[in-house]
Structure 1
Amino acid sequence: MTVSYTLKVANSRFGGFSKLLFRWKGSIYKLLYKEFIVFVMLYALLSIVYRRLLTEEQKRLYTKVAQYCNRSTDLIPMSFVLGFYVTLIVNRWWAQYTSIPLPDQLMCVISSNVHGKDERGRILRRTLVRYANLSAVLILRSVSTRVLKRFPTMDHVVEAGFMTQDERKQFESLYSDFNKYWIPCVWFTNLAAQARRDGRIRDDVALRLLMDELNLYRAKCSMLFHYDWISIPLVYTQVVTIAVYSFFAFCLIGRQFLEPLEPGQEGDLDMYIPLSTLLQFFFYAGWLKVAEQIINPFGEDDDDFETNKLIDRNLQVSLLSVDDMYQNLPPATKDKYWNESTAQPPYTIATAAETLKPSFLGSTFDMRMTEDMEQTQPVEASPNMTRMQTPLLSRFLAAASPAISIKNFGRGGRATPHLRRARGDSTVHCEDPEAVGRIEEEETEDEESQRGSPCSPSASDRQKELPLIQVEAPSSESIEAEQPQAGKP
């Protein structure tokens, strides 16, 4: 049975956890007391042998061995090995609990989409949820020792009402080398399809919703099976166990209270009982016992999952929701706050102080600025804003690069524009503002329409800012002189 102490730690107070130290069920004392007694007895035995049975020469040899063992304990990374291993175990433990199939969502979908208050409708709804619970019982029998002890054979499953005799015969007639927990889910799908054909499920959307919920339920059953099948690699568990046992084997020899090697040499204080070593054993060995307890939460330890209680709860709740609660609604009336714009539930005397606390509106709600900082200022968009935001890209965009028009490539009736490099100052001599920084080839009619356009000031400004390659467009006289030559073959 799970040991719950949530109410005991609901409020933080002086010595809050100290009251939990005196519990026995589910405690570390119950898990560790046998190993602790064995460790203390072995330590005491070695101490008696060292103090009473060894000669002086043997004591000096034992002292050297003990010092070597004590230094060796520092070479075993106990905190790292145990911390990583226990973290992995705890994450796996909680993931297994979230994989336990619960029929709550499925039963709500069945109750709202499988219609009929007659006997046939009741049979359909109750049978569907019974199939879902049967699938959970079959998979829990495969992974939980508690459930297997409760339902050791299929006769016990039939006697409990999860399966009829006819269903058992059909179940056993289906031969498979693998676990057959999925068979009730297939029965569920076939029965739902039959209900759709009979009109009990009114549309395909409702049937699809029902199938989706069943698939989620079946996926959890499958995940439980795989968690039971695929364990944490054995080598990892062996490494952690060997690390802990070897560490305390060295402690048994190296943590003894030794006599000094030389006469007159000051030795350690002989306390007979190694308190620090015993605490170390309690922490490290207890850490290992925690992992040992929860590595398989489907056993019979104090903190293992109460799977039998879950089976009882799931069956009762699911049958209640699809049968007694089907279309059994309380009357829909006006609520208490019908005429109030702001609903305010009352507080008891014990909680009245909470009404004095202001509501949380956001971390920056109380932030204030000076009047000067609150004034707005218009921001004008700059034509060079894009180039300012991408300075490296603007260099490539402003640089001249030859452009070749595939449409005009190879035509003999088109004159090639003159390309010249600007000399002298940064004065722009152009007829076309788009001729700065690149080469363009256009159709004859486009050139004639652009000859008379004056050079805009914005182009001159950009030229002054970016003194790059300049293109001087040919004059109208040179173009007219070249046009007759372009027409010749």
Structure 2
Amino acid sequence: MTVSYTLKVANAKFGGFSKLLFRWKGSIYKLLYREFLVFCLLYGFISFLYRCVLNNEQQEVFERLARHCNKFAKLIPMSFVLGFYVTQAFQRWWGQYTSFPLPDNLMMVVTGNVHGTDERGRLLRRTLMRYANLSSVLILRSISTRVRKRFPALEDIVEAGFMTADELKKLNHLYSDFNKYWMPLAWFANLASQARKEGRVKDDIALRLLMDELNNYRAKCSMLFHYDWISIPLVYTQVVTVAVYSFFMFCLIGRQFVKPEKPDEDKIHLDLYIPIFTLLEFFFYAGWLKVGELIINPFGEDDDDFETNQLIDRNIQVSMLAVDDMHQNLPLLEKDKYWVDKGLSYPSATMKPVFMGSTHDMRYNDRLPLFIFGTQIKIFLIKSKNFLTLHTQQHNSQISSKIPFVLQRLTKVLWVWNDMWLSN
């Protein structure tokens, strides 16, 4: 079942995520512990050989090999390769979830536009929604291992009530080399047209609305099929896998605690048996690869894969309730609580100031006189500058030619000062 921890992180608080680190189901520990144990055992075995089995000459050769591996292992761009791959896998995972065919929109259109409270009207609405759910069962049976185990044969779908024996014969009678999940939707379209002829669907606009929602539903079924057909290119998955495993194969030798190449008496040489930071690096990078492996196909049986069987049960139950039990089954119309009282009633202690906009409390009264005064000064200086400029052109005076320039600078200063005052 999908692991949900939303309630645990509803409020941000000190150490909020720390409670999630001790969960086992759906955790990275459950996914990674086998590879982690294998890496630790191999590292310990190589360390034992270096310390206890090899002689001095062989140890020197191993030390040179370890330095060489450690030097060139850093050239593998692990962060870039893994980061881009997991990003693409996550986008694909979310796209698959949003493409899951839910009948909610379709059942609302059916219950609102296919009329009739008699047995014929009930039969039409229920059959329409059964065809829609049958199509989703057929497509999920083709891509989900959980649904395939639940319905290993088409006869099991008949036994579950999604399809009748006569419909199964028609499904098998129509030969096609491709997946026939679309056939129930074609039955839906034909049955909706028949309901229009019988007057159960009032007009062509209502029939068009039914067809539009049907096409949206069919598009999602088709998208799921194409997600299952077209995967992330295998070459990129291979590149990421080879990069991760080769990097840690080099780390098995390159991260061993060997003697320094040039011993320095002033420096302390650490000789640890447990490579703490190498193990953390393995946890991060190999865990990142496991995340991509987990979400690249969410229709399996992992802890965080989609609950396809539960969604199938929910869809058939909700759609039948909407088009049958709830059709024209309305509660009595009554005046609501706020018929007269327009305000909402709840404890005043929980009320908070209503946000009215960032400039709602902005005041102009204190700055208005200064604004008017500054504007008048600017107008006076502009007129003076224009007058003196004309006088300079007529008399060609060197002293008077500098006055418009000074007035122009002063006007700009006043303009900037006025804008800064208003912004503060």
- How does the TM-score come out when normalised to structure 1? 0.74
**Structure 1 letter corresponding to 2:55:** T
Please name the residue that 1:422 is paired with: none
* Alpha carbons 1:73, 1:250 under 8 Å: kept: yes
> What's the CA shift for 1:77?
1.1
Q: 2:360 aligned with 1:365, yes or no?
A: yes
CA distance in 1, matches of 2:287, 2:325: 49
**Structure 1 letter corresponding to 2:368:** E
* Alpha carbons 1:60, 1:261 under 8 Å: kept: no
Please name the residue that 1:88 is paired with: 88
Q: 2:200 aligned with 1:200, yes or no?
A: yes
> What's the CA shift for 1:54?
1.3
**Structure 2 letter corresponding to 1:79:** S
Please name the residue that 1:470 is paired with: none
CA distance in 2, matches of 1:78, 1:264: 33
Please name the residue that 1:134 is paired with: 134
CA distance in 1, matches of 2:65, 2:144: 48
Question: Secondary structure of the residue that 2:161 maps to in structure 1?
Answer: coil
Please name the residue that 2:237 is paired with: 237
* Alpha carbons 1:259, 1:267 under 8 Å: kept: no
CA distance in 1, matches of 2:277, 2:270: 13
Structure 2 gaps, min length 5: 377-424
CA distance in 2, matches of 1:321, 1:263: 80
* Alpha carbons 1:258, 1:267 under 8 Å: kept: no
Residues 1:263 and 1:111: Cα distance change in structure 2 (over 3 Å):
closer
CA distance in 2, matches of 1:244, 1:16: 31
Please name the residue that 1:399 is paired with: none
Residues 1:345 and 1:174: Cα distance change in structure 2 (over 3 Å):
farther
Residues 1:6 and 1:264: Cα distance change in structure 2 (over 3 Å):
closer
Please name the residue that 2:289 is paired with: 288
Within 5 Å, which residues of 2 pair with 1:272-421?
272-340=273-341, 342-347=342-347, 353-355=349-351, 357-369=352-364, 370-372=367-369
Within 5 Å, which residues of 2 pair with 1:415-430?
none
CA distance in 1, matches of 2:213, 2:150: 28
Residues 1:259 and 1:196: Cα distance change in structure 2 (over 3 Å):
same
CA distance in 2, matches of 1:228, 1:66: 44
Residues 1:59 and 1:8: Cα distance change in structure 2 (over 3 Å):
same
> What's the CA shift for 1:20?
0.7
> What's the CA shift for 1:291?
0.6
Q: 2:224 aligned with 1:227, yes or no?
A: no
Bigger relative contact order (CA 8 A; separation at least 6): 2
* Alpha carbons 1:9, 1:16 under 8 Å: kept: yes
> What's the CA shift for 1:256?
0.4
**Structure 2 letter corresponding to 1:305:** F
> What's the CA shift for 1:374?
6.9
CA distance in 1, matches of 2:318, 2:307: 17
Please name the residue that 1:210 is paired with: 210
Question: Secondary structure of the residue that 1:75 maps to in structure 2?
Answer: coil
**Structure 2 letter corresponding to 1:285:** A
Within 5 Å, which residues of 2 pair with 1:34-49?
34-49=34-49
Within 5 Å, which residues of 2 pair with 1:87-126?
87-126=87-126
**Structure 2 letter corresponding to 1:28:** I
Aligned pairs, number: 372
Please name the residue that 2:249 is paired with: 249
CA distance in 2, matches of 1:159, 1:373: 85
**Structure 1 letter corresponding to 2:361:** D
Identical aligned residues as a percent: 69
Deviations 1:451-476 (A, max 9, x none): xxxxxxxxxxxxxxxxxxxxxxxxxx
Deviations 1:174-203 (A, max 9, x none): 000000000000000000000000100010
CA distance in 2, matches of 1:151, 1:193: 31
**Structure 2 letter corresponding to 1:371:** L
Structure 1 gaps, min length 5: 379-489
CA distance in 1, matches of 2:360, 2:195: 56
**Structure 2 letter corresponding to 1:88:** Q
**Structure 1 letter corresponding to 2:34:** K
CA distance in 2, matches of 1:203, 1:124: 17
Residues 1:71 and 1:353: Cα distance change in structure 2 (over 3 Å):
farther
> What's the CA shift for 1:260?
3.2
CA distance in 2, matches of 1:10, 1:290: 24
> What's the CA shift for 1:365?
2.0
Deviations 1:60-103 (A, max 9, x none): 11111111111112211111111111111111101100100000
Residues 1:373 and 1:64: Cα distance change in structure 2 (over 3 Å):
farther
**Structure 2 letter corresponding to 1:297:** P
CA distance in 2, matches of 1:353, 1:196: 56
Question: Secondary structure of the residue that 2:74 maps to in structure 1?
Answer: helix
Question: Secondary structure of the residue that 2:329 maps to in structure 1?
Answer: coil
CA distance in 1, matches of 2:350, 2:94: 34
CA distance in 2, matches of 1:374, 1:2: 63
Find the structure with the greater CA-based Rg.
Answer: 1
CA distance in 2, matches of 1:255, 1:353: 61
Residues 1:121 and 1:254: Cα distance change in structure 2 (over 3 Å):
same
> What's the CA shift for 1:345?
3.4
Please name the residue that 1:455 is paired with: none
* Alpha carbons 1:257, 1:268 under 8 Å: kept: no
CA distance in 2, matches of 1:123, 1:345: 45
Give the aligned CA root-mean-square deviation in angstroms: 1.7
CA distance in 2, matches of 1:112, 1:374: 62
Please name the residue that 1:396 is paired with: none
> What's the CA shift for 1:52?
1.2
> What's the CA shift for 1:323?
0.4
> What's the CA shift for 1:262?
5.5
Q: Which has the higher helix share?
A: 2
Deviations 1:264-307 (A, max 9, x none): 76563011100000000001100100110111000000000000
Question: Secondary structure of the residue that 1:179 maps to in structure 2?
Answer: coil
**Structure 2 letter corresponding to 1:258:** V
